[in-house]
Every structure is written in C-alpha cells, then in structure tokens.
C-alpha cells in the first residue's frame, strides 16, 4: 500500500490542471478515528477541466504510464459521480479517483488537511464533516457505519456538517443517524 500511495501522490503533484485533491474512504478515516482495515485507496480530485478528454489525456494517461491498469468510467445523468478512474497499481492495490462535479465537493477537497496516514506518508485528507457527508451520499452499509464512527469519535464542526449535508441532500439521513446515535 505504501508504494502505491507514494506513487499516486507523485502523479497527482506532477499532473497539470489539478487544483486540489483529498483522500476519502476507509484509509482517510484513520486520519480522524482509529483506522479500519482497508485494501484500497479512494481520492476526490478537483480539476480545472473535468472533460472526459482532459482526464483521459492527463491524469489517466499518467497513471497508465506509471503501471496502473484500469478504466475511466462515465456516470449517467442521474448518477452522483460524473467521472471516476477505477484502477489497480502494479502492486495490486485498487485505486479509485472520483472527480469533483459539485461546488460542495470542491469545498471538501479544498478544506483537506495534510495528515500522516501511513508511516512517513502525508497527504491531504478530507475533514470529518466532508467524509461524513460523502459516506452518507454513497450510502452502503460500510459507508453508513464509517459515518457513524466519525459522528461518535471524531471532532467536527456541527454547523458546518449540517450545512454541507443539506447542500449534498443527505441532511434527513444525517438527522436520522444522529437521532439513532443519540447525538441530538
């Protein structure tokens, strides 16, 4: 995992047009609460140009040139994710790169804080408020469990969380979970 993460950071730092990026997903949780086992790397990336062509000729090509195998996926009009690179490193580590499509997603990325997620490896990690909202938006059982752990264990700005959840249209889900966890 360390080798893949270092390679990804290097690629992201050298690729033109990347405004910001942040680690999201299971590995990012370790920046705020006790980490859970995870075998993949998930990133949210804000580009100056999010066209299919720009992604394909930029970041996707750079990943391929560095030994990553994968594809550039395009979501439909009803999907929350417009573009996503699904790849696997030469070390066999799955890497998903999701591209910012909404203003609130861009704010999550821009608000990321550099955290040491593995020994001697630091990179921007989405703050707890952003991770909670992204997890609730994704909505799987594991995502909701992760969001619940963050709500219970992490320090976060409640007003910022509520505002972000409303803009992401997960405010009702957040309210139900907070009530269930007796946090309201």
Q: 56-91: per-residue pLDDT in tens?
A: 999 999 999 999 999 999 888 778 888 999 999 999
* pTM of the full structure: 0.93
Instruction: Show the beta-strand stretches assigned E in the chain.
Output: 18-24, 41-47, 69-74, 83-88, 94-99, 113-118, 121-125
Distance between CA atoms of residues 161 and 153, nearest Å? 15
Q: Is the pLDDT of residue 118 over 90?
A: no
């Amino acid at each position: 995992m360390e080798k893949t993460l270092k390679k990804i950071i290097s690629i992201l730092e050298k690729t033109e047009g990347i405004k910001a990026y942040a680690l999201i997903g299971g590995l990012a949780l370790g920046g705020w609460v006790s980490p859970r086992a995870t075998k993949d790397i998930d990133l949210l990336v804000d580009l100056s140009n999010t066209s299919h062509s720009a992604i394909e000729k930029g970041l996707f090509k750079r990943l391929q040139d560095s030994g990553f195998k994968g594809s550039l996926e395009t979501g439909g009009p009803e999907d929350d994710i417009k573009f996503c690179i699904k790849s696997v490193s030469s070390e066999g580590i799955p890497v998903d790169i999701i591209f910012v499509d909404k203003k609130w997603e861009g704010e999550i990325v821009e608000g990321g804080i550099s955290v040491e997620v593995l020994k001697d490896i630091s990179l921007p990690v989405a703050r707890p408020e952003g991770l909670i909202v992204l997890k609730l938006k994704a909505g799987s059982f594991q995502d909701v469990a992760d969001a619940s752990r963050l709500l219970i264990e992490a320090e976060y700005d409640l007003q910022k969380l509520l505002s972000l959840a409303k803009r992401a249209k997960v405010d009702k889900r957040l309210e139900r979970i907070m009530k269930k966890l007796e946090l309201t």
